[in-house]
Structure 1
Amino acid sequence: MPARILVINDEESILDLFRMILESEGYEFCSSTEAIENVTAVEELDPDLIILDLKLGMQEEGWLTMQKIRMYPPTQKIPIILCTAALEEAREQEETLQDKGIPIIYKPFDVDELLEVVQRMLPFPDTKSPSRKKQAP
């Protein structure tokens, strides 16, 4: 089973780009164009990795979404990659994010860099492995 990657970004064109890149590499792609209000929706999707934009709409709702994911026990261990064009805001938090194991990819990004970080962040090395398992409550 391929790794399932959830991309949260408010721009359809960016989501289309991520879909093209990730599906061509054999990943299962799912997406959301808005901040996750109810984090149980992330739990139900059961992604192996989340790629999250810092700014969703005119607000920095990506921070709030990331905090919700990290604070909810069933989703707190899902790896997150922050992918953003909000350079100043992200750089202010870059050291803290790195300490928490959350890499930042700045837009515009290099496809090879994105894929290298995705592979590194996946919880299992073989993305086609059926090793994804739901954790018991």
Structure 2
Amino acid sequence: MSTHIVVINDDESILDLFRMILEGEGYKVSTSVEAMENVEDVERLKPDVVILDLKLGQQEEGWVMMQKLRMYPPTRFIPLILCTAALNEVRQQEDTLQDKGIPVVYKPFDIDEILKAVSSVLPGPDKKKTAEKK
């Protein structure tokens, strides 16, 4: 069974790019152009990883969604990756994010950065592959 990744970003072209990259690596990918109001929607998708943009629309809905995912027991342990261009906002929270094991990939990113972030949060054999490449 392949690893399921949910990508939430308000830019359709970025979502298409994520889908192309991640499906090319054998991952199952679901996408959304908006923060899911109910974390139950994320729970129903049963993702192994969530890649979340910090700024969705004009607000920082990504922060709110990240908080909801962490506070809701069924989703609290799903690995999260922040993918954002909001450099200043994230820099202020970088230590906290690191402490919580939430990697940040800054836009613009390259394919290797996003794949490395995904493999870093997944348990099991993917970690071995990453370690062998080093």
Normalised by the length of structure 2, the TM-score is 0.92
Give the whole-Å Cα distance in 2 for the aligned partners of 1:126 and 1:103. 16
- Change in Cα spacing, 1:126 to 1:106, as seen in structure 2 (3 Å) is closer
Match of residue 48 from structure 1: 48
Q: Distance in 2 between matches of 1:18 and 1:40?
A: 23
Task: Give me the whole-angstrom Cα distance separating, in 2, the residues matched to 1:123 and 1:35.
Answer: 26
Relative contact order higher in (CA < 8 Å, ≥ 6 apart): 1
Task: Identify unmatched segments of 5+ residues in structure 2.
Answer: 128-134
Alignment of 1:67-78 (within 5 A): 67-78=67-78
Does the Cα contact within 8 Å between 1:119 and 1:125 map onto a contact in 2?
A: no
The structure 1 segments of at least 4 consecutive aligned residues displaced by more than 4 Å after TM superposition are none
The number of residues matched between the two structures is 127
Query: Superposition pairs for residues 1-137 of structure 1, below 5 Å?
Result: 1-126=1-126
Structure 1 position 124, deviation (Å): 3.4
Give how far 1:83 is off.
0.3
Q: Which has the larger share of helix?
A: 2
**Does the CA contact (< 8 Å) of 1:34 and 1:56 recur in 2?**
yes
> Aligned partner of 1:30: which letter?
S
**Contact 1:51-1:81 at 8 Å conserved across structures:** yes
Identity %: 69
Q: Unaligned stretches of 5+ in structure 1?
A: 128-137
TM-score (norm 1): 0.90
Of residues 96-105 and 117-126 in structure 1, the stretch that sits farther from structure 2 once superposed is 117-126
Separation in structure 2 between the aligned mates of residue 125 and residue 62 of structure 1, nearest angstrom: 29
Paired residues of 1:82 and 1:103 also in contact (CA < 8 A): yes
Compute the RMSD of aligned alpha carbons.
1.2
What is the CA–CA distance in structure 2 between the aligned matches of 1:54 and 1:125, rounded to whole Å? 29
CA distance in 2, matches of 1:39, 1:18: 21
Q: How far apart in 2 are the matches of 1:125 and 1:28?
A: 17
